[in-house]
Amino acid sequence: MKAVVCREYGLEHTHVAEIVSPPMRPDGVRIRVHSCGVSFANLLVLEGKHQNRWEPPFTPGTEVAGIVSECGEGTSLFKPGDRVVAGVRIGGFSEEVVAPEATVFALPDEVDFDKAVQFPTIYATAYGALKWRANLQPGETLLVHGAAGGSGLAAVEIGKMLGARVIATAGDTAKLEAARRHGADVAINYRDESFRDAVLRDTGQRGADVIFDPVGGPTFDESLRCIAPDGRIIPMGFAGGTIPQIPANIVLVKNISVIGIYWGYYMGWGKQPPPPHMVQQVRDGFREMLQWAASGQLCPETYATYPLSDFQTALAALTERKVIGRVALHPSKTEQ
């Protein structure tokens, strides 16, 4: 089969090659990959800079959607021909993957493969962060930074599904329009005005109850100054390039919580496995999210798609910071 293979760290050492199909495992589901999600994290993995470090040679990619072609003897939920979406630890940029049944989920006919690949990590992380970890309540105010990226748009949509009033920040008109299109009640251009001042003004000086921050650095610092008492802030990533240092005095005097979430733990990719009840909670969460998508209440945005051979072009699009939503690869040519 064809796959993207990183022989040494760096894009210059990464190429499409013919490799042996992955072996089946007793709990495995073999998937013919029709779409694979592309993210900035893939670039970090290829450069050896991601927290999940793989030694070359390896194939990047963690989010796939396609058709089941084979099931291991220890599986019971799927059969060949089923449409599915799956999270994999590594290996998604390829024509086939074998995923453990625990991280494979049934895909409704109404959800195409390119939209589906946003669920295993992007939408699932937003869902877990806002619903499980932050306990976002109807009527609360949610502030979403980087609101036109894949993570940001997912948080905007999940926040609206949970009944929040959503304030979004972004850096240009097209991105602000995208945030509004996906449900944001207020959109702030942080290049034109202080988002801190705008949030306080919009909330009558109270601040945001929950803040979803994939940017970090100064954005995180300013967020602490427009968060409501008893608020919750979720540092989702550090796209701004700086990992913030959390001032404990502000956490103390404002009665706020700083909440972490590593979605890989729920998928069984951490050092410790999740408890059995959490495995079922994850499956129930995917069922709910995909039902919302099937009914049109969640609408993941695909910026562009590329054949597997153009994976470097797909990754380059992310570095230009013009992508709204997500980019996807098509390892197998097929109808969506």
Instruction: Identify the three-state secondary structure at position 174.
Output: helix
List, by residue range, all CATH 3.90.180.10 domains of the chain.
2-118+271-330
Burial 144-165 (b: 16+ CB within 10 A, else e): bbbbbbbbbbbbbbbbbbbebb
- Position 223 scores a pLDDT of 96
113 within 8 A of 206, measured Cβ to Cβ: no
> Mind listing the pLDDT tens digit of every residue in the chain (336 residues)?
999 999 999 999 999 999 999 999 999 999 999 999 999 889 989 999 888 889 999 999 999 999 999 999 999 999 999 999 999 999 999 999 999 999 999 999 999 999 999 999 999 999 999 999 999 999 999 999 999 999 999 999 999 999 999 999 999 999 999 999 999 999 999 999 999 999 999 999 999 999 999 998 999 999 999 999 999 999 987 776 678 788 888 888 889 999 999 999 999 998 888 898 999 999 999 999 999 999 999 999 999 999 999 999 999 998 888 899 999 999 975 444
Taking Cα atoms as reference points, which of 244, 191, 182, 255 lies closest to residue 213?
A: 244
- Position 51 scores a pLDDT of 80
Please tell us whether the domain made up of 2-118+271-330 is placed in CATH 3.90.180.10: yes
List, by residue range, all CATH 3.40.50.720 domains of the chain.
122-261
Cα angle for residues 308, 147, 200 (degrees, 5° grid): 170
Q: For residue 96, what are the β-bridge partners? A: 32
Strand 186-189 vs strand 165-170: parallel, antiparallel, or unpaired? parallel
CATH topology assigned to domain 122-261: Rossmann fold (3.40.50)
CB atoms within 10 A of CB 70: 17
Helices (H), the chain: 40-46, 113-116, 124-127, 150-161, 173-181, 195-202, 217-223, 248-253, 263-266, 276-294, 311-319
